[in-house]
Amino acid sequence: MTGDTHQMTQKESQSESRKFISGFMFLSIAAAGILIVLYAWRLPPFHSHIQSTENAMIRGQITLISPQLSGYVTGVYVQDFQRVKKGDLLVQIDERIYRQKYDQAKAQIAVQEAALENNGQDRLSAEASIRQGEAALTNAQAQEVKTKNDFKRTSELVSSGAVSKSVYDSAKASHAQSVAQTRQAEATLEIAKQNLQSIIIKRASLEAEVENAKAALELARIDLDNTRIIAPGDGQLGQVAVRLGAYVTAGTQLTGLVPDHVWVIANMKETQMANIRIGQPAAFTVDALDQAEMHGHVERISPASGSEFSIIPPDNATGNFVKISQRIPVRISVDPDQPLSERLKPGMSVVVSIETKE
């Protein structure tokens, strides 16, 4: 009986021991789960100075190359993904019409400059006419004075009977004729002066025509130059969409130019922005380079959230408001002299980590 009691006591002890172990394991697993959640959400006691996001991409200043005028393509001198230098000829548009317009504008300048030269000659002629008119007026005035004196003397003599009435009439007519000639000379001189003034005013108009012709020539030269589509800078081309003989219009996308300079845009949650500052070091891993890690620094921070730059900004003034964490774009420069920096291409996905500890 005593042996049975001892066995029962031993079984009870083992059962209680197993219960204790099971409870301890459950509590341990629950505590571990809670700690993992706290660590994942960076809640106390797990605080990290590193702010990370997977919402990040490599960016670059991609230039879409398009013509400024219309015409048939007479030459395509590049291929897909080719590297080019600034000033390299990419595409040639038929220049015949634009060259003729340029030559026509040059000829128009010659015409306007010739008209300006003629105006100068007209001015010299008008000035000579004024001098001639002044001389004619002086002569007419002298004749008027002479005939006036003759008429006065004849009038005195005719009253005494020294000269006949016919001589008196002749002197009177001569004086009247000289007066009329003086008035005519004055009018002729005034016409010459007005003609000179018109020529002077017309010169300003002709000079404006010359400048207008020069401006037209410059526009024609620009159009002629624009038939040559050249690379605006160094970089690598995208796909070349234009083909020889195709007709293109202004704004037709021919290809894209991707420069060598790239950077990272990390869209951080607004809850991560409290301690992010310009100049802080950052690291990022590149998906396309087998998670290779590279380094950079915070260069700029957006002045507003990404949603504020959308075409239709969100309007939260509704009765069904749900708070959504906004994203703040952060620009990160890529540190120089990194072996894989040349392989970074715009559009690549990266995972960014920013060290916010001062």
Q: pLDDT per residue over 301-322, tens digit each? A: 999 888 777 777 666 656 666 6
Q: Can you give the pLDDT at residue 349?
A: 94
Task: At 289, give phi and psi (nearest 5°).
Answer: -115, 35
Average pLDDT in the 247-257 region? 93
Q: Can you give the pLDDT at residue 45?
A: 60
How far apart (Å, rounded) are the C-alpha atoms in residues 217 and 112?
A: 12
Q: Can you give the pLDDT at residue 123?
A: 83
Among 133, 134, 131, 147, residue whose Cα is nearest residue 179? 147
Q: Is the bond leading into 336 cis (omega within 30 degrees of zero)?
A: no
Asked if the model's pLDDT at residue 15 lies above 70, the reply is no
pLDDT single digits (tens) 146-199? 888 877 777 767 666 666 777 777 777 887 888 888 888 888 888 888 888 888
Band the pLDDT of 204: cuts 50, 70, 90.
Answer: confident
**313-343 exposure pattern, b = at least 16 Cβ within 10 A, e = fewer:** eeeeeeeeeeeeebbbbbbbebeeeeeeeee
Higher pLDDT, 132 or 45: 132
Average pLDDT in the 132-142 region? 85
CB 150 within 8 A of CB 174: yes
Higher pLDDT, 4 or 97: 97
How far apart (Å, rounded) are the C-alpha atoms in residues 248 and 146?
A: 85
Q: Can you give the pLDDT at residue 22?
A: 74
Band the pLDDT of 47: cuts 50, 70, 90.
Answer: low
Q: Which residues, other chains included, contact 349 with Cβ-Cβ below 8 Å and sequence gap of 6+?
A: 54, 56, 57, 286, 287, 288
Can you say whether residue 340 is alpha, beta or left, with left for phi > 0 and alpha for psi between -120 and 50 degrees? Answer: alpha
β-partners of residue 265 are 57, 331
Q: Can you give the pLDDT at residue 322?
A: 67
Band the pLDDT of 298: cuts 50, 70, 90.
Answer: very high
